[in-house]
């Protein structure tokens, strides 16, 4: 793997210049580096922790919105239906219904919150490791700096998700035209995802002089890949093979894990693209010094 180099001040062109690379060359380099860095292998690790985090997080969400009626939960279920393949949406809806019916006592809620936090933090840690590899840097932050980064990014992702659900809820509450809601849901979701990806690319990798403008091309690419992978999964699972013959009653679980696996790969590919743009910009400036400690 090539070393990430310093970006010279005299050649701080816009990131959307793609480091001077033609688009096809940037795509070729990104695909090659994604293969060499095994982005989908790391995506599998992330998918495992995210899977463990999803259901405790749903329990926390239900407990937090218990006093607000069922409206927020209905909005979240509507997002599942609009975005995810039918079997995955059904799995999550069933889980929410069962959690809601059983209820959660105070001390059990504490255990559930702890489990959700542990899984979410580990998922962010796996993402951080994958982005360090994408940017070809070693992790040199101290334990407390690393803990703050992981905790802050996890909180930021949770806040972005909560804000997206709240905005969609507000739109559903005030908008009488139900046909317009799917468009609103997708618009808000796309904005929340793009912002989340940009935040991840800005703060997760151990790159000291990284700037916001270097995060946006990969964030948009990751958003396009994420949405494309989600639509492809819906078409495949809904119309070609729903895994019921392979996994029986566990087909929804298998499909959820596969969806997480693919979409996590999309996020890491976005990081690989940002890294390639930065390396191309550094090469054009002719300054080969390392910025952070290269892997």
Concatenate the DSSP letters of all residues of 36-80 into one string.
HTTHHHHHHHHHHHHHHHHHHHHHHHHHHTGGGTTHHHHHHHHHH
Q: What is residue 49's predicted lDDT score, i.e. its pLDDT?
A: 92
Q: What is residue 209's predicted lDDT score, i.e. its pLDDT?
A: 65
Q: What is residue 67's predicted lDDT score, i.e. its pLDDT?
A: 66
pTM of the model: 0.81
Residue of 188, 190, 201, 265 whose CA lies nearest to 223: 190
Q: What is residue 266's predicted lDDT score, i.e. its pLDDT?
A: 92
Q: For the chain, where are the alpha helices, taking DSSP H only?
A: 23-36, 39-64, 71-83, 86-102, 106-134, 143-174, 181-203, 216-239, 244-247, 251-285
Q: What is residue 171's predicted lDDT score, i.e. its pLDDT?
A: 65
The angle subtended at Cα 40 by Cα 38 and Cα 43, nearest 5°, is 120
Distances (CA, A) of 73 to 60, 61, 96, 142, 290: 12, 8, 8, 40, 48
Contact assessment for residue 284 and residue 197, using Cβ atoms and an 8 Å cutoff: no
Q: What is residue 225's predicted lDDT score, i.e. its pLDDT?
A: 93
Q: What is residue 96's predicted lDDT score, i.e. its pLDDT?
A: 87
Q: What is residue 107's predicted lDDT score, i.e. its pLDDT?
A: 75
pLDDT digit of tens for each residue in the chain (295 aa)? 444 444 444 444 444 567 677 888 888 999 999 998 888 888 898 999 999 999 888 888 888 777 655 677 777 887 888 888 888 888 998 888 888 787 777 777 788 888 889 999 999 998 999 899 888 888 888 889 999 999 999 999 888 888 877 777 776 665 555 555 567 777 888 888 888 898 898 888 888 766 666 567 888 999 999 999 988 988 888 888 888 888 888 888 999 999 999 999 999 999 999 888 888 877 776 443 344 554 4
Q: What is residue 3's predicted lDDT score, i.e. its pLDDT?
A: 46
Q: What is residue 108's predicted lDDT score, i.e. its pLDDT?
A: 78
Q: What is residue 257's predicted lDDT score, i.e. its pLDDT?
A: 93
Q: What is residue 10's predicted lDDT score, i.e. its pLDDT?
A: 40
């Amino acid at each position: 793997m090539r070393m990430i180099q310093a970006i010279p001040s005299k050649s701080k062109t816009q990131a959307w210049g793609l480091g001077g690379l033609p688009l096809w060359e940037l795509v070729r380099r990104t695909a090659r580096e994604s293969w060499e860095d095994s982005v989908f292998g790391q995506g599998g690790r992330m998918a495992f922790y995210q899977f463990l985090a999803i259901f405790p997080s749903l329990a926390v969400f239900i407990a937090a919105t218990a006093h607000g009626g069922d409206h927020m939960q209905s909005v979240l279920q509507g997002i599942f239906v609009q975005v995810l393949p039918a079997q995955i949406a059904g799995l999550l809806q069933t889980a929410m219904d069962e959690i809601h019916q059983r209820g959660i006592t105070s001390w059990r809620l504490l255990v559930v919150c702890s489990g959700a936090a542990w899984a979410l933090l580990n998922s962010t840690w796996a993402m951080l490791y994958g982005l360090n590899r994408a940017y070809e840097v070693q992790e040199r932050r101290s334990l407390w700096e690393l803990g703050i980064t992981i905790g802050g990014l996890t909180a930021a992702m949770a806040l972005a998700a909560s804000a997206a659900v709240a905005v969609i809820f507000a739109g559903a509450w005030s908008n009488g035209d139900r046909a317009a809601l799917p468009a609103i849901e997708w618009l808000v979701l796309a904005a929340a995802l793009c912002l989340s990806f940009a935040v991840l690319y800005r703060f997760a990798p151990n790159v000291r002089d990284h700037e916001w403008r270097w995060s946006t091309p990969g964030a948009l690419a990751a958003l396009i890949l994420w949405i494309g992978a989600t639509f492809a999964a819906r078409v495949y699972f809904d119309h070609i093979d729903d895994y019921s013959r392979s996994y029986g009653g566990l087909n929804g679980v298998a499909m959820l894990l596969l969806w997480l696996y693919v979409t996590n790969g999309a996020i890491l590919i976005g990081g690989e693209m940002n890294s390639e743009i930065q390396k191309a910009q550094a090469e054009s400036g002719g300054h080969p010094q390392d910025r952070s400690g290269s892997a």
